[in-house]
Structure 1
Amino acid sequence: MMGEDADMRTMLAPPMSTPHDAGRRDLEQRYQRVCDLFPDQRVEIVNGRIVIREVPTLDHNRMIFRLLLQIMAFADQRGWTACNDIKLFLGTQVDRYRPDITVVPAEPRMWDAENVYADQTLLVVEVVSPSSRDDDNLLKPHSCSLAGVPLYLVIDPLEKTARLLSQPGRSGYVQQDAVMLGELLLLPDPWDLKLDTGKFLN
């Protein structure tokens, strides 16, 4: 009987806190303080570091606007919403991203008021800037694939390319379709929509 009581106490005892857990809590607290200090800035956690993105340039915003012009009517007909400042919830111990555009269905599952579950999205878009090149092209796609983001679109005005990643998996996205800006790029189901990437050029 004493052995059974000891086993029960072990089962009911709270899990031991690890240095990793403490470090993660400290990172989350610092992240929240930075968000509070810079409410008008795009603050992210990328690969365990807190990043404050520079204010987007006019060309950056113009590219986002031209993409929105192509997808808004299609999304609106289906009750979807294109957000330019919602956060992606990738998991409790994972990074925090604020993509340039995130399209979600009418009633997406939310982790809280500011964070949508990554696998609830219909499209995530990043427009590359000089300071975000590695993050947008390498680090973020890997985390988004693990979290189940179905479609991840990277528009790179520096390389003049658009790259759509689809079929997320544990090792990264299985499918990649890349075009030079000026060519057509197909958004697959549930979109089945051709993007004219020439409209992203100045």
Structure 2
Amino acid sequence: MDTPPSGTFEDLLQIVEGLDTPAGYKAELIRGKIVASPWSKLRYKKVMKSLRLQLVPHAPERHDVDVAPFLFTFPGSERGYGPDLHVADESSFDAEGRHADGAALSLAAELTADSTKDVDRIDEMETYGRVVPVYLLLDMGIGEINVLSEPSPKGYRSRTDVPFGRPVRIPVPFDFELDTSGFLLPEAEAGTPWPRRPTPHPPTRVRQFAGGPFFCRPRLRVSGQSGQSGQSGLSGGLAYAGSPEADACLL
């Protein structure tokens, strides 16, 4: 795994740890930039609770299942993510500081919305796909769960997509059938159809992952650069991606 220039990634981590983000936002490191993105909506709590309770009895030994806002870092990729739900080796939380090693993750899960879909589907999928055994992406917009597994140097080799309401197999090291009926939000349970994709696809599919569409959505990021050691280097505070102070897209 490649190592970033000396001090650069660590400087960014120090900035993130001391950053006072707006209420309801979390700071992450994406492609060498500090990005503030919104936490999951309150109405998603039921879904995260259902997922957590089902994962707990099947988690690897001494791995903790939690929704606490911890940052998991991937220095070789200059990334640091705070997944909506994580399953990680308990020993990774014995260290000092406010971030854990991404290699300790056995599973990461994100409940994605339009504002975060570009990072969840593209950036995180690529980074997790080289290290994390299982990545669950719950698309709350269309009511679908994507199960990615079999990490490799080129990313995940297997992907299964299932609409909410149908069971889906969570692969090793969990190896159980996940019940997604509890993932349906009230409007769907009342009979309101989920928004559909522009291009229809079969309700359940398993395929080799070979990339996907690229999204460019408004996100908050911290403008500026890391600067010298001991200095934050923040020159413009928080700015919306796409503004003069920030890039239009993270791709």
**TM-score class, shorter:** 0.7 to 0.9
Matched, 1:58 2:42: yes
Q: Deviations over 1:29-57 (max 9, x none)?
A: 543342x4569742111233322222432
Q: Note if contact 2:149-2:156 (Cα within 8 Å) is conserved in structure 1.
A: yes
Structure 2: tracts of 5 or more residues without a match: 186-251
Matched, 1:128 2:112: yes
Any residues of structure 2 matched to 1:112-127 within 5 Å, and which?
112-127=96-111
Q: Counterpart of 1:159 in 2: which secondary structure?
A: coil
Q: Which has the higher helix share?
A: 1
| TM-score where L is the length of structure 2 | 0.63
Decide whether aligned partners of structure 1 residues 155 and 70 sit closer, same or farther in structure 2, where only a CA change above 3 A counts: same
1:169: how far off? 1.3
Corresponding residue number in structure 1 for 2:17: 32
Any residues of structure 2 matched to 1:66-81 within 5 Å, and which?
66-75=50-59, 78-81=61-64
Q: Which has the higher strand share?
A: 2
Q: 1:197 aligns with which of 180, 190, 215?
A: 180
* Paired residue type of 1:171: K
Q: 1:98 aligns with which of 82, 101, 118?
A: 82
Corresponding residue number in structure 2 for 1:4: none
Q: Counterpart of 1:122 in 2: which secondary structure?
A: strand
1:62: how far off? 2.1
1:79: how far off? 3.9
Decide whether aligned partners of structure 1 residues 88 and 67 sit closer, same or farther in structure 2, where only a CA change above 3 A counts: same
Q: Note if contact 1:42-1:53 (Cα within 8 Å) is conserved in structure 2.
A: yes
Residue correspondences, number? 181
* Paired residue type of 1:97: Y
Q: 1:167 aligns with which of 146, 150, 156?
A: 150
Select the structure with the greater relative contact order (CA < 8 A; seq sep ≥ 6).
Answer: 2
Cα RMSD between the aligned structures? 2.8
1:80: how far off? 2.6
Matched, 1:49 2:33: yes
* Paired residue type of 1:90: F
* Paired residue type of 2:155: G
Decide whether aligned partners of structure 1 residues 39 and 83 sit closer, same or farther in structure 2, where only a CA change above 3 A counts: farther
Q: Counterpart of 2:141 in 1: which secondary structure?
A: coil
* CA distance in 1: counterparts of 2:178 and 2:45, whole angstroms: 17
Q: Note if contact 2:24-2:38 (Cα within 8 Å) is conserved in structure 1.
A: no
Decide whether aligned partners of structure 1 residues 21 and 38 sit closer, same or farther in structure 2, where only a CA change above 3 A counts: farther
Q: Note if contact 2:27-2:34 (Cα within 8 Å) is conserved in structure 1.
A: yes
Q: Counterpart of 1:168 in 2: which secondary structure?
A: coil
Structure 1 segments, 4+ long, off by >6 Å, are: none
For the pair shown, which has the larger CA radius of gyration, 1 or 2? 1
